[in-house]
Structure 1
């Protein structure tokens, strides 16, 4: 889109020396050999969108070599001229360094636009913190952040199976796709993020006086990353909603470390004998409490370990340091697919501590290990506080024993002892291989019969619909 700019000149017909020599708009150059003494007309883009293309039609144009240079130039031009969007048109953009988005800016793209990491990226360990996309605000020597940034609509491809230098380092926690530190109001939506050497999305909100948050990760498709698909540290008022994490390939689908006031809702997470757990909450520092986290309306299946895992990684944390998680209306089935010697973890929902957790209205079916358990994923810790978890109105059925973990195969199990208490109310617990309960004191209000016989429970139809959705790729 363009506007007509009318430039009035003085009676002498003279322009400033710089303008008389040439006028350049990015991607277009105009040379002036004669100047009218009356007026002059220029065509300049006027829309709030600056376009980037691979075919020469954009305001900025890429040639497939270090395309981040043109994209970053477009972003800086937009920022300098009070424009708010840079849009990537159809095509493949090959980068060998970070795209850096200024604050208050949107980087959008056509659905068939792909930003791809160069094959066999020539990097060393000093580059291991370099993401494909980040902000412009310098946080430390290795990390950048930003505020009020939106990334939407295109594909981000890390080409991790063709990164020999990165593979040789075995730094799985590095080289993320999108990374922001000490940032707020970052929105990542409607993206395809795949084949990352490290995390797909990695956001560290900071802590204490530097704490930020209010980030949104919405409606993305993420798969085959080298670490976590979505990894939030010190999350605060963040929302992770409506994402499809279709192949958890290494660590976890969604991971929250030392986070608070965060919602994880309406996501679909599955894998095929790779990766670990579906949703993972980890508390490992005393200076940032984890609390008020909701995990709801997610579908998680076929994960190697747990569907949902709440873990701790420090001794003798105060009971208030990890608390108040609400896990409800999730469907978890077939989790714990690949127990192995030395890696005896699996089940529907595992907790190590996390006081005042409420688990209600979930369906947990066919997990290998236990349906719900107090257990340590990171063994050897000594937490002496007293923890209570409320488990009510769930359906837990068809749990399968593991050949590698003793005392498993129950609907609800407690491996951790008397300072960990389940309070059970009105659950349907049925047909679990080694029994419905182990080391659980009271379950008088539970129902121990086949839930499929209940007219009010249409789980079979729902489960068939989920399987069909998976098979047809919708």
Structure 2
């Protein structure tokens, strides 16, 4: 088992001429070689699908480009999903795709339309043990990456095992990543610029970690990260952390559970979402709805939103709000603690929201709000909710985009510690029961509010103990003698 190279200069058995290049790429993928390598700098023009099977690696140089052919009249919207790269069989595994560029040739192929199912870039139905990384996606008319298990919405396939990382996705025609009825997912270190719908969309999927991603838009598209739960699948393990959601058109994060008239799911099947240590800023750049903002939750119970920076969003910072359809039943609780929620703006006119935390579903949803910092929110800090433990002072950050609180004892800066002349009220002001074990000493035995609470970069406290190491030299000592230990 070796490597097959796909070239344009005649140096390989799989030589392309710039026309129908999917033929030679498919021939290489059908060969006994495990790895198929696209040589650059080359553009491989394709007019039909590329099929990848189990136990295959499709890779190439960063300047190797697979490009959808220019259709003179544009592509009509198909009755079924189609894509540039597809899983060959209905059940495949051990697929790796990395290292090259896919160009959907949007301007020449949209035919005036784009979006869901139009022409996806990588589409793996029935695939497991998948890795997609170090890719560049641009000019697409559909999803950049779509992975799905099963043909129905009501079942999550366990142990799908998907890792998607270090990709750049720029203004694709639908979702950047769309994962459907899958589990055991790691999505990290991607840079996504939305265009039509979501940056990352998780539909009826579980056991997910989304971290270290940067998701933004140019006032196009929708939500940065969208979690959708419908009908019976159990979703109880989703972790969203260390991401930046900036300038999204509608919302930074939307966690939505909903139902139709025929099925009401139990609350225990929609829980376990943890949103922590993210930056959500400048979201809801459009003014065409008063339901947009930073983070929205509907139809999930015991969602925890903690240690985030939620700043400068339009509409609301955090809200309970209705998605397209309502959630079943009542009694949903969202826990909001240790966050900084500031500078929320009014959308378009004074009649539209501008609250830090807003509950528009007060008959079915409630907040438990503890030890946040809320300040300078245009219409007020709370709507249909309240807190007795929040603070409302200037957080005294190091800079406009440096969210380390200033500290007289020590603030992390450029790989080391510096001291400030003022001391942030965020330090030692977090929820008393939150873990603070990762904070450096002195840490006041209490978590800091904000992005760096319970991290190694937490600003240092005015109170607490600092571990001191002593050099001790004790030789043979008579029984009963007193030994004195002095600091060296």
| TM-score interval for Structure 1 and Structure 2 normalised by the shorter chain | 0.7 to 0.9
Structure 1 length normalisation: TM-score? 0.79
> By how many angstroms is 1:124 displaced?
5.0
In structure 2, what is the Cα distance between the partners aligned to 1:203 and 1:375? 28
Q: CA RMSD in A?
A: 2.1
1:409-430, Cα deviation, whole Å (9 max, x unpaired): 1111100014311111111111
Structure 2 residue aligned with 1:50? 4
In structure 2, what is the Cα distance between the partners aligned to 1:292 and 1:414? 24
Structure 1 residue aligned with 2:459? none
- TM alignment of 1:6-405, pairs within 5 A: 48-78=2-32, 83-90=33-40, 91-120=42-71, 125-126=77-78, 128-137=80-89, 139=90, 146-165=92-111, 167=112, 172-206=116-150, 208=155, 211=158, 213-245=160-192, 247-284=193-230, 286-315=231-260, 316-340=264-288, 343-379=289-325, 381=326, 383-403=328-348
Change (3 A) 1:347 1:179: same
In structure 2, what is the Cα distance between the partners aligned to 1:106 and 1:350? 38
More helix by share: 1
> By how many angstroms is 1:344 displaced?
3.0
Are 2:381 and 1:439 aligned?
no
Change (3 A) 1:336 1:375: same
Are 2:413 and 1:462 aligned?
no
> By how many angstroms is 1:327 displaced?
0.2
In structure 2, what is the Cα distance between the partners aligned to 1:125 and 1:163? 10
1:419 to 364, 385, 390: 364
- The 8 Å contact of residues 205 and 211 in structure 1, kept in 2 or not, is answered as no
In structure 1, the gaps of 5 or more residues are 1-46, 140-144, 465-474
In structure 2, what is the Cα distance between the partners aligned to 1:395 and 1:374? 18
1:154-188, Cα deviation, whole Å (9 max, x unpaired): 000101111154x35x5543311001112111110
> By how many angstroms is 1:408 displaced?
1.6
Structure 2 length normalisation: TM-score? 0.77
- The 8 Å contact of residues 236 and 271 in structure 2, kept in 1 or not, is answered as yes
In structure 2, what is the Cα distance between the partners aligned to 1:330 and 1:310? 15
Q: Secondary structure at the match of 2:31?
A: helix
Change (3 A) 1:214 1:99: same
> By how many angstroms is 1:312 displaced?
2.6
